[in-house]
Amino acid sequence: MANEGSSSAALGEREYELVLGLNESDSGWVEARTHCDHLLSALSVSDLSHIPPPYYPCTRCEHPTENWLCLSCKDVLCGRFINRHMLEHFQKTDHCLALSFSDLSVWCFKCDAYLDAQAILPLQPVYEIAHLLKFGESPPVRTLEEPPTA
């Protein structure tokens, strides 16, 4: 009986580590940014009626899925785990904003981070169109809470 007491104390220590996330600091989910300095220069999708559908293949290699939509020129290009055509496109053209057709997340190559498309006003229209094209309905309205004081 006394032994049980000491082993549960050791377990408690381990749980504490897990709560702090000490074991997953490198691979964990990164929070999307709500601010990006490159929107003004890169976001030039004004005609939202000609956005390619989410099943559109990569315009370079015709890879059929998990492609990215360039938010500067509406080109559809594959990701860094396929043939990296979106990454190449950014390096050649400086078009740094891309919307993922697989989960509708927006990536900024210059921020090197995901952007919260629902929290960033200029991104909302294109996010809504992409959501409509992918799921056949508009995204659920999300009430924005006051950002925590950082």
Query: Which DSSP string corresponds to 46-95?
Result: --GGGPPPTTPPPTTT---SSEEEETTT--EEE-TTTT-HHHHHHHHH--
Min CB(3)–Zn ion separation in Å: 56
| 36, 51, 99, 123: residue in contact with Zn ion (rule CB under 5 A) | 36
Of 60 and 134, which CB lies nearer to Zn ion in the complex structure?
Answer: 60
Given a contact cutoff of 8 angstroms between Cβ atoms, the answer to whether 47 and 72 are in contact is no
Residue 119 found at the interface with Zn ion (CB under 5 A): no
* Binding segment toward Zn ion, per CB under 5 A, in 11-19, 47-55, 78-86, 140-148: 78-86
Question: Contacts with Zn ion: how many residues (CB under 5 A)?
Answer: 17
Given a contact cutoff of 8 angstroms between Cβ atoms, the answer to whether 76 and 59 are in contact is yes
Q: What residues contact residue 37 under an 8 Å CB cut-off, 6+ apart?
A: 110, 111
Residue 95 found at the interface with Zn ion (CB under 5 A): yes
Residue 33 found at the interface with Zn ion (CB under 5 A): no
Of 95 and 131, which CB lies nearer to Zn ion in the complex structure?
Answer: 95
Of 58 and 123, which CB lies nearer to Zn ion in the complex structure?
Answer: 58
